[in-house]
Amino acid sequence: MEKRTNRIEILFTDTELERLKIRSKEFRSISSYIRAALVEFSDKDAKGRMQAVEEMASLCRRFKDELGWAGGNLNQAMKRANELSVAGLLSETYYKEVLIPSINGLKKTMDKIIAEHSDVVSKIIRGVLKNGQSEHLMQR
C-alpha cells in the first residue's frame, strides 16, 4: 500500500466540523471518510444511480398516494353497496353507475402504476448495463 505523505488544510465552521464528525463516525477517521467520499463523488455513474434511486422513491410515494385515494373511493362504494344489499335496496343503477366505475378507476390506477414502475425499472437496468456493470447486477 502506498504511504500517504501529502497533506491539505481545510477550514471548517464549528457547525460544518460537527456535521463532518457525525457523518464520519462509521469510518476509522475523518480522513478515511473524506477519501471514501472523494471516490464516491468522483464516480461519474454515482449521479445517475442517485437520480434513479430518487426517481424510484418519488414514484413509490406517488403510487402510495394514488393507491390510497383509489382504495378509499372503492372502500366507500363497497361499504355503501353492502349497506344497500343488507337493506335489500342494491339497485342495478348503483351497481352500474357507482361500483363498476370505482372498480374500473382502481384498475386504471393499478395498470398505470405497473406500467410506470416497469418503465423506471427498465431504465435503471439499461443504465446499469450501458455502464458496463452487468456483472454487478447479476450478482444481486
Q: What is the pLDDT of residues 81-122, one digit of tens each?
A: 889 888 988 888 888 888 888 888 888 888 888 888 888 888
Global pTM? Answer: 0.48
Question: What number is the average pLDDT over the span 35-57?
Answer: 78
Cell numbers found for residue 5: 505523505
Provide the residue type at 26 as one letter: E
| pLDDT for the residue 140 | 35
Cell numbers found for residue 57: 422513491
- Contact criterion met (CB below 8 Å) for 88 and 34: no
* Least trusted range by pLDDT, from 1-5, 44-48, 84-88: 44-48
- State the Cα–Cα distance between residues 42 and 46, nearest whole angstrom: 8
